[in-house]
Copies of this chain bind each other. A is one copy, B any other.
């Protein structure tokens, strides 16, 4: 696997803010798909209000009543709030706010490296479940339809929502497909037997750790028969949490899964595993070591440093173009091939 030499390929300054008064602070964690002979990226664009200052934080959220993004201002001297995490502000009563709000933006490219980025959001906060923004999209093509699932945060927790499109311009809302807290959903691109399958990542509040699970569905909206696929490994680079990245890629040996794992220090790496083609809840092979670790400056430093986070990969001309978010800051590209990745797993 090789990083593209001119990484990052998309930076915050390449993206036009969605509204006056907002500033783009990150573009990262992009879903990817082939569409109409081009490579499409669905970018997660994080913005914050420019009205923040040294002594106050401006917190953006979608307000259901006015159907607009509103700004709540919190004084940094307020002892009721914890400002230690750059991404999240916690109140003493347990209420959380995000310091930025994300939307999803379409970008298109013919070479996979140079992208034309739309000036306006494709999907943005629009209801009470998405009030803190829409994040980390994945795209799965099934027939002529492209299914876009994304995480959304709100006062009600973190859910996964599903949209469907045929042109990346009009989207149909299929509702909340996983209840809180759940993220890192990656839908398989075809039925296996009679059912669709998706990897998902519950974030349990008791007993469990954030492991990788699988569920099946007759209609892509309603999911059940939940099983654990792979669990975090104590003392490893993936000891704290893990979750699926790009939608599964069918190979001659089984389903190739590119995923992320993180340790207690919140260092996110890319890993790989292979699932059985017919029984996708069975792990055939899991790489001990990461495929890619944050080592480059654009990966180690940023809005949230030491993060490599994959949401999309595209097969083009024998090559696998793997798009990943670096440091919650920029979109980067790594190149490999299915053949190379299978070889690394001993096939």
Contacts and interface: CB of A to CB of B under 8 A. Distances in A.
Q: How many copies does the complex hold?
A: 2
Interface of A: 95-96, 128, 132, 153-159, 175-182, 200, 202-208, 211, 213, 215-219, 221-228, 231
Given A156-B211, A211-B156, A96 B224 contact: no
Nearest to A216: B222
Given A179-B182, A221-B225, A222-B217, A203 B206 contact: yes
A177 B208 CA distance: 17
A223 B179 CA distance: 10
A132 B182 CA distance: 23
Given A156-B211, A157-B206, A204-B158, A225 B175 contact: yes
A243 to B, nearest CB: 13
B213 A179 contact: yes
B176 A179 contact: no
Given A153-B207, A207-B153, A208-B157, A179 B222 contact: no
Given A202-B181, A219-B218, A222-B217, A207 B175 contact: no
Contacts of A159: 226
B181 A226 contact: no
Contact of A204 (B176, B181, B213): B181
